[in-house]
A = this chain, B = another copy of it.
Amino acid sequence: MIRFNCDYAEGAHENILNRMMETNMEQLPGYGGDVYCAQARKLIQDKCGCEDACVQFLCGGTQSNLTVIAAALRPHQGVISADTGHINVHETGAIEATGHRVISLPSPDGKLTADQISETFEAHAADVNHEHVVQPKMVYISNPTEIGTIYTKKELEEISSVCREYGYYLFMDGARLGYGLTAEGNDLDLPAITGYCDAFSIGGTKCGALFGEAVVITNPAIREDFRYIMKQRGGMLAKGWLLGLQFLTLFENDLYFELAAHANKMAGRLKEAFWQHGCRFLIESNTNQQFPILQNNELERLKTKYSYSFWEKINDTHSAVRFCTSWATKEEDIDALVKDVVAL
């Protein structure tokens, strides 16, 4: 069985494990107060072009999302998200467990638009009963989105602009950020994201690390005492250097982007193969997640050799599924799958 069902099926890039081996018996201070976290923090600040950004390392994505949101909002405030947003669908109500509503807006492509945010603001402001309604205060976007699409610089600029006009915080969940920043058609980079967002995450778990997310916060209101809230929510790793080491390894020599570009290239080959086969796609994606629509009997055949994720039923004979590549995807596995798609 070859797994294409997700992008976290293998461990980590070998450089990371080697570095853990090398440093294993060094005695280091805990909770991220070590030299490797300091170096990784500095490197990320440099890449972001923002020397005083607060950079913290957490173990996972749900943890990062709930911690940032808990740090940012007062009790009556909510966070706007596309209905496909990870916080809205796959975190078991983690945001609500911190006391806040996820205000979900419909989105066929997984993205929010500046207009949607403006309409939400206007509707709240115009409501004579606004005190009886959750107050929107933060905008959560994922880049790439949960369905593989990416924001353009212009789209992000417009969103950032309306957020600043309304006093909304803009938070980008970058669990798959590397795949977005190396995708065909992408015109964003870390400095641009740093400039447009109040906080964002750089995902390690799905992009070459064993585990870990770097959270970058520029807005002073969110970064103040952020580490208290990390600790409170169980997100402060005792041996914090394990996270620092990983991000240091990923961002030295731009390994992070190299790994992501590989995954996108592999995904591009799959996309081409499905396309040649005559498939439609649930959504056009240039990143490591591809959502072809296949006949159910074709899927049955592929299932004997490959795992994929069921996404949604299209009709009685067709389904949309997800094939994921990752930093670890082997060329030969893609060769095999492409061949089998051709043979369908």
B63:A225 contact, CB within 8 angstroms: no
Question: Which of A41-49, A132-140, A146-154, A251-259 binds B?
Answer: A132-140
**Is A129 close to B, CB under 8 A?**
yes
| Interface contacts beyond A74-B229, A94-B232, A96-B100: sample of 7 additional A-B pairs, CB < 8 Å, sorted by A | A60-B237, A63-B235, A76-B232, A89-B132, A91-B132, A93-B232, A99-B99
Contact bitstring A216-227, B, C-beta under 8 A = 1, else 0 = 000000000101
Q: List 22 A-B contacts (CB under 8 A).
A: A2-B27, A3-B27, A8-B239, A11-B26, A12-B24, A14-B24, A17-B24, A20-B20, A63-B235, A66-B234, A75-B229, A91-B231, A93-B134, A94-B234, A97-B232, A99-B99, A131-B227, A131-B236, A210-B239, A211-B239, A211-B242, A234-B235
A20:B23 contact, CB within 8 angstroms: no
Interface of A is mostly: loop
**Chain B, residue nearest A100 (CB):** B96
B234:A129 contact, CB within 8 angstroms: no
B101:A93 contact, CB within 8 angstroms: yes
Contacts of A9 in B (CB 8 A): 27-30
B232:A75 contact, CB within 8 angstroms: yes
**Is A161 close to B, CB under 8 A?**
no
Q: How far is the CA of A26 from the CA of B2 in the complex (A)?
A: 10
**Is A233 close to B, CB under 8 A?**
yes
**Is A55 close to B, CB under 8 A?**
no
Q: How far is the CA of A162 from the CA of B1 in the complex (A)?
A: 40
B92:A210 contact, CB within 8 angstroms: no
- Give A94-129 interface residues, CB cut-off 8 Å to B: 94, 96-102, 128-129
**Is A62 close to B, CB under 8 A?**
yes
**Is A6 close to B, CB under 8 A?**
yes
**Is A21 close to B, CB under 8 A?**
yes
**Is A163 close to B, CB under 8 A?**
no
Q: How far is the CB of A189 from chain B (nearest CB, A)?
A: 26
- Most B CB atoms within 10 A — which of A2, A17, A75, A235? A75
Across the A-B interface, give the 7 residue pairs with the lowest CB-CB distance, nearest first.
A63-B234, A76-B228, A11-B24, A92-B232, A93-B134, A3-B27, A9-B27
Contacts of A94 in B (CB 8 A): 231-234
Given A27-B3, A100-B93, A135-B228, A205 and B239 contact (CB-CB distance below 8 Å): yes
| Chain A: number of interface residues, binned into ranges | 35 or more
Q: How far is the CA of A66 from the CA of B234 in the complex (A)?
A: 8
Q: How far is the CA of A89 from the CA of B231 in the complex (A)?
A: 12
Contacts of A102 in B (CB 8 A): 101
**Is A70 close to B, CB under 8 A?**
yes
**Is A328 close to B, CB under 8 A?**
yes
**Is A342 close to B, CB under 8 A?**
no
**Is A320 close to B, CB under 8 A?**
no
Q: How far is the CB of A305 from chain B (nearest CB, A)?
A: 13
Checking B11, B30, B129 against A239 with a beta-carbon cut-off of 8 angstroms, the contacting residue is B11
Given A17-B17, A60-B234, A92 and B76 contact (CB-CB distance below 8 Å): yes
